[in-house]
Amino acid sequence: RFKPVVEFVGPFHLKKGGKRRHWFEMPNYNGRVRVMVIAGDGVAYGHTDKGVFVRKPVMILGTLPRVIGVFEEMDVPAAVFATKEGVGNVQVSIETTPNMEVIGDRQKTLNFSRIEDQMATFRVRVKGDPGAAKVTLTATARGEKATYETDIEVRSVHRPQTKLTAFVIEPGKSWNQNITLPGADGTNK
């Protein structure tokens, strides 16, 4: 459910006393990461590491269940963090895949005058199609944008069904009948 923040780059060759700068694009992440460097010349090796904070002025984190059933509803809380003073108005919005629908407002406004966190809550209803779904939360303020995406499994809440139709076909006769399959479309055979 949570994508790890791991990236390996190199090896790089430096001349004695040389320096090199590297830039990394981080995924949606809030917290501390450890940056590690390993150096060697084929005979001797050394290493160092340092903790680095990763944060943007506006960040967002959603909380959703791992699975949900067809036709169920859920509240989707979106925690929005202002990590600097005077962020001001933050527009928080939600988007879903077509097998879900948002009940009520798709966008809400929060106001931040200091470093703090606030919550915006959205209501989502699942339609009748089981399978994979995605919920995307976005927070925007003064040119800053943060997104949070979560994949969620939509599963059928019905137990497997078997429908048996008994008939006898006499020798030399044929049988032809349309059969209506039980269950939800796309899940039956």
Report pLDDT digits (tens) over 60-113.
Answer: 888 888 899 888 999 999 999 888 888 889 999 999 999 999 999 999 999 998
Mean pLDDT of 7-26: 85
Rounded to an integer, what distance in angstroms lies between the CA atom of residue 82 and that of residue 141?
Answer: 10
| Model pLDDT for residues 45-64, shown as the tens digit of each residue | 999 999 988 878 888 888 88
User: What CA–CA distances, in Å, run from 110 to 51, 57, 88, 181?
Assistant: 31, 14, 8, 49
Q: Residue 1 above 70 pLDDT?
A: no
Per-residue confidence band for 185, with pLDDT thresholds at 50, 70 and 90: low
Residue 162's pLDDT is 79
pLDDT of residue 184: 67
Q: Which residues pair with 69 in a beta bridge?
A: 155
Query: Nearest Cα to 1, choosing from 52, 55, 63?
Result: 63
pLDDT at 3 over 70: no
pLDDT of residue 142: 85
In this prediction, residues 119-143 reach a mean pLDDT of: 91
**Share above pLDDT 70 across residues of the chain, in percent, rounded to a whole number:** 95
Averaged confidence pLDDT in the chain: 86
**Euclidean distance between the first and final Cα of the chain, in Å?**
31
